Amino acid sequence: MAVASRLDTGRAFAKVLLPTLAKGVILRRPSATALAAKARADAAAVATMKRLRERYGPQPLRLRVTGRSVALLLDPLDVARLLAESPSPFALATVEKRAALKHFQPHGVLISTGRERARRRAVNEDVLRPDKIDVRAIVADEADLLLRHARGTGRLTWDSFAQAWWRAARRIVLGSFAREDVELTDMLQTLRANANWAYLHPRREALRRRFEDRLCGHLERGEPGSLASLGPADELVEQAPHWLFAFDAAGIATMRALAIGGEGEAGIWESVRLWPTTPVILRESTEPTRWHGTWLPARTTFIVFVPYFHRDPDRLSRADSYAPENWPAPADPGLVPFSGGPGICPGRDLVLVAGGAMLDALRPHLDVPTLHPPLPATLNHFGLSFVTRSDD
């Protein structure tokens, strides 16, 4: 197994990992996202990954990081193995992930292990089924109000979309009583902004407790027709912060799907394929593992840079085009918009239903400028806006 030179290790960090971190992994930073789009940062990152594979071959590439064992995956079959063999021996609870998520969700399933992880995963899988509540009706209500506002101004912007989307998210997770509780999600936004810095930012425990107390108040009400009604509050409060966090990514995916004329759930799939909302997947080995004849030690951090696998024209005939035929069963094991294996996003189907419903409610009433292939590798959702149709 190859070991990258110090120069190529520097390139991997400078061109691939650091620009991704700069945009904000937990909460997107508007200025950094706009700068990345202007600089075509993701295109440069994918090109860097291609050069590393050409130079070192398809096997996992060990990066020279002092005091750490780090491997960058370059082959889709290795990605499939890593995800299929999670959480053991490849744990989801990496050092970086624990440091980030403890800012707002210290008991989340993504940073849990053993029996606690199994219990929390079961809660997520049970509650986050889209047939449990009428997600489409909630989204339709908010989409209708959003369209009325957009017709009044003549344009749908990211800011107006985000406000409507968060109202829908609060209703889905907590019920209609929480619809206008902007303060709740603002507190979460602040905690997520801190989480972008992981262990480099002190945790604001007092703010997290205030957020958790307010969240618990909504969950204890258990309003019928919401996820809050599907389990005891003391159990759901451990997981609900991540549900709200995930709805932010789902809103981003929906707005981008509008920009490519996407339709229904396939439009959401393709939006997340073209512009992954989780651009880096991390796993950490719990024991020594063998890769292509080489043993890597326990506590090796494995890195999957998702845009490379989603946008590689050498493997995908329509890498930079809208290709809804990829879904729901992609032929390529490197297409992992919602991760994969036992660690696949448990809310995937809920996100697809909510995003697809919003997409289909809005799209017929907007003049969507068609983005022609090759589609940009970075799409700044903060800057998107659409003119409403004059014949509505």
As a whole number of angstroms, the distance between CA 102 and CA 120 comes to 16
Read off the pLDDT of residues 355-372 as tens digits, 9 standing for 90 and up.
999 999 999 999 987 678
Domain of 155 in residue numbering reads as 6-388
Asked whether the CA dihedral 207, 248, 34, 39 is positive or negative, the reply is: positive
Contact criterion met (CB below 8 Å) for 207 and 241: no
Please tell me the pTM assigned to this model: 0.97
- Three-state SS string over 329-364 comes to CCCCCCCCECECHHHCCCCHHHHHHHHHHHHHHHHH
In a 10 Å sphere around its CB, with 0-12 CB exposed, 13-18 middle and 19+ buried, how is residue 392 labelled?
Answer: exposed
- Whether residue 42 lies inside any domain: the answer is yes
Structure tokens at 266: 């396939």
Read off the pLDDT of residues 279-299 as tens digits, 9 standing for 90 and up.
999 999 999 999 999 999 999
- Whether residue 286 lies inside any domain: the answer is yes
Structure tokens at 283: 């796993």
Total domains in the chain come to: 1
- Whether residue 196 lies inside any domain: the answer is yes
* Predicted pLDDT of residue 356: 98
As a whole number of angstroms, the distance between CA 202 and CA 204 comes to 6
pLDDT in tens, the chain (392 residues): 999 999 999 999 999 999 999 999 999 999 999 999 999 999 999 999 999 999 999 999 999 999 999 999 999 999 999 999 999 999 999 999 999 999 999 999 999 999 999 999 999 999 999 999 999 999 999 999 999 999 999 999 999 999 999 999 999 999 999 999 999 999 999 999 999 999 999 999 999 999 999 999 999 999 999 999 999 999 999 999 999 999 999 999 999 999 999 999 999 999 999 999 999 999 999 999 999 999 999 999 999 999 999 999 999 999 999 999 999 999 999 999 999 999 999 999 999 999 999 999 999 999 987 678 999 999 999 999 999 998 76
What is the DSSP code string of 357-392? Answer: HHHHHHGGGEEPPPPPSSPPS---GGG-EEEEPTT-
Alpha helices (H) along 200-328: 205-221, 233-236, 240-259, 264-274, 306-310
* Predicted pLDDT of residue 390: 80
Contact criterion met (CB below 8 Å) for 168 and 358: yes
* Predicted pLDDT of residue 33: 98
- Whether residue 1 lies inside any domain: the answer is no
- Whether residue 364 lies inside any domain: the answer is yes
* Predicted pLDDT of residue 37: 97
* Predicted pLDDT of residue 371: 79
Cβ count near 215 (within 10 Å): 25
Q: What is the CATH number of the domain that holds 278?
A: 1.10.630.10
